[in-house]
Amino acid sequence: MKKNRQAGFSLMELLVAMMIMAVLATIGIRKYQEFSAKARYIKAHDTIKTVSEGLDFYHLKHGKYPDFTSFEAMVEPNSVLVKENNIPVNVASTDPWGNPFEGKSGKGGYVLTCAGDPGGSADRPPFTAEPGKNTGPSGAAPAGPEKEPAK
């Protein structure tokens, strides 16, 4: 007598396998989104840091900060910072989320600001760069205690 054996997977086995794949895909997508958001935040910090260092180089050379009323004016190709090679030509005027960076500079110093992650994540808050102090991600210079200049 021949036994009739069917080859293949049962419906239950297929459902279990699909459920496992769905769980793994969900975990993978979530990790990718977290990684992507962190990378955007680091990119925004690096842009602010680049312009901040360019302003500091200008100050070292000329003894004053250049007068700019906006961040966009600082990074445009005809900017004195670009012409003197203090910052590269291709610095973005918007953060990785598409929002404009805020900034101004003058005799007293500068203030550069990024609004941070528009999703409102607590680990990617807004940050600011000023001469001698920065706030924001761990890659930023430590804010530390303020020191009085030597008299």
What token pair was written down for 92? 């973005």
92 located within any domain: yes
139 located within any domain: no
Which amino acid is it at 125?
P
Name every residue whose Cβ is closer than 8 Å to that of residue 96 and which is 6 or more positions away in sequence: 40, 41, 43, 44
pLDDT for the residue numbered 26: 94
Rounded to an integer, the average pLDDT of 16-45 is 93
89 located within any domain: yes
CATH of the domain at 53: 3.30.700
pLDDT tens, residue by residue, 85-107: 999 988 999 999 889 999 999 98
Q: What is the CA radius of gyration of the chain?
A: 25
36 located within any domain: yes
pTM: 0.72
Which structural domain, as residue segments, surrounds residue 77?
13-134
> Sorting pLDDT into bands at 50, 70 and 90, what band is 148?
very low
58 located within any domain: yes
> Sorting pLDDT into bands at 50, 70 and 90, what band is 142?
very low
74 located within any domain: yes
Rounded to an integer, the average pLDDT of 64-90 is 91
